[in-house]
């Protein structure tokens, strides 16, 4: 499973708690262009805006994680008489969460709500595809500092706006991979066993 599945899970969770379908994984300098395309029927961009940028990811822990090897975990699918072999390598993914608003007070309020919510509800579910169709729980955490970027941004032709940025990460994500093989079935009707002759 690619890292992008975790991106989608975080975006979908943010959309769920805010009710705003305009939240996307998008570079900071493309936020207003992306929102403008979504709001093409409007003459203005409606604030507040929440955006996410993935800043990087990497492998964590021991390089000899038990699930990286073939045969580490088997799931028998009785419907197809196949074994699904699952492999996983632990990774850490880092993001930046940006909140854009018209006033500083509104920005502070939204950031506060995000921090309280995810400090008390950090768990998000991600669907693991590749013939597995299982759910994996992962947690997101915030770094301690909130960066105020309000002084370096300006909304074109609309005046100033406020932007605060907070880093978040998950360190219990995985790269997933699966393979399948047909189960070996012994037909007892066609098995012949010679009796042991004792002298």
Question: pLDDT tens digits, residue range 135-148?
Answer: 899 999 999 999 99
Q: Is the pLDDT of residue 197 over 80?
A: no
Share of the chain above pLDDT 90, in %: 45
Architecture of domain 4-183: 2-Layer Sandwich (3.30)
Residue 73's pLDDT is 44
pLDDT tens sequence across 146-170: 999 886 555 554 557 899 999 999 9
- Per-residue HEC secondary structure of the chain comes to CCCHHHHHHHHHHHHHHHCCCCCCECCHHHHHHHHHHHCCCCCCCCCCEEEEEEEEEEECCCCCCHHHCCCCCEEEECCCCEEEEEEEEEEEEEEEEEEEECCHHHHHHHHHHHHHHHHHCCEEEEEECCCCCEEEEEECEEEEEEEECHHHCCECCCECCEEEEEEEEEEEEEEEEEEEEECCCCCHHHCCCCCCCCC
pLDDT score for 140: 96
Q: Which tops the pLDDT comparison, 100 or 73?
A: 100
Match 């940028």 to its residue by tokens. 53
- Percent over 70 (pLDDT), the chain: 69
* Residue of 117, 116, 112, 66 whose CA lies nearest to 90: 66
CB-based burial of residue 171 (10 Å sphere; 0-12 exposed, 13-18 middle, 19+ buried)?
A: middle
The mean-pLDDT minimum among 58-67, 87-96, 109-118 falls in: 58-67
Render pLDDT for 36-84 as a digit per residue (tens, 0 to 9). Answer: 777 766 767 788 999 999 999 999 875 555 555 444 344 555 555 666 7
Q: pLDDT averaged over the chain?
A: 80
Taken in order 14, 20, 21, 23, the sign of the CA dihedral is negative
28 — pLDDT class (breaks 50, 70, 90): confident
- pLDDT per position as a tens digit, 47-56: 899 999 999 9
């Amino acid at each position: 499973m690619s890292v992008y599945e975790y991106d989608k899970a975080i975006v979908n969770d943010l959309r769920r708690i805010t009710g705003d379908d305009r939240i996307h994984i998008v570079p900071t300098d493309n936020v207003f262009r992306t929102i403008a395309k979504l709001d093409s029927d409007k003459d203005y961009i409606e604030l507040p805006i929440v955006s996410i940028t993935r800043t990087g990811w990497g492998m964590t822990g021991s390089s000899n994680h038990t699930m990286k090897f073939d045969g580490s975990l088997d799931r028998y699918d009785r419907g197809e008489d196949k074994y699904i072999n699952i492999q996983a390598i632990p990774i850490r993914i880092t993001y930046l969460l940006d909140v854009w608003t018209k006033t500083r007070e509104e920005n502070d309020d939204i950031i506060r709500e995000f921090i309280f919510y995810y400090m008390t509800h950090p768990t998000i579910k991600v669907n693991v595809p590749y013939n597995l169709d299982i759910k994996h729980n992962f947690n997101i955490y915030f770094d301690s500092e909130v960066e105020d970027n309000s002084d370096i941004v300006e909304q074109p032709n609309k005046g100033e706006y406020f932007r605060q940025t907070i880093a978040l990460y998950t360190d219990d994500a995985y790269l997933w991979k699966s393979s399948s093989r047909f189960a070996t079935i012994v037909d007892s009707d066609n098995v012949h066993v010679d009796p042991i002759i004792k002298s």
